[in-house]
Amino acid sequence: MTQSTPKQPARRGRIFPERTLSPEELARRKAENEAFHHRCRAIFERVRPELIKEHYGWYIAIEPNSGDYFIDAENMQAHKKALEKYPNTDHCVFCVNETGSTGTI
């Protein structure tokens, strides 16, 4: 009769523990993301009434630092227009409709 080898215990924990972020760093990043989104949303709310008349269902990419926005009928084209003019900054994409959402869940 052969003896079975003992099972190795399951390893628990992160794959890269040195890349674990502190709760303070996570909170800081979340606050920055929310502030960025609020700046983009404010610009979107300001220009939405004039754009919704002619460009309903189109997409708008907003760069909040300058206040510039780029519209196109396709999501990726609006994104590319924003990247062409501002290649090293973040921008936010909304759909030109009542809510600004770009899809459904």
**pLDDT of res. 105:** 60
- Which pLDDT tens digit goes with each residue over 71-101? 999 999 999 999 999 999 999 999 999 888 8
Whole-angstrom distance, CA of residue 86 vs CA of residue 105: 30
pLDDT band at 20 (very low <50, low <70, confident <90, very high): confident
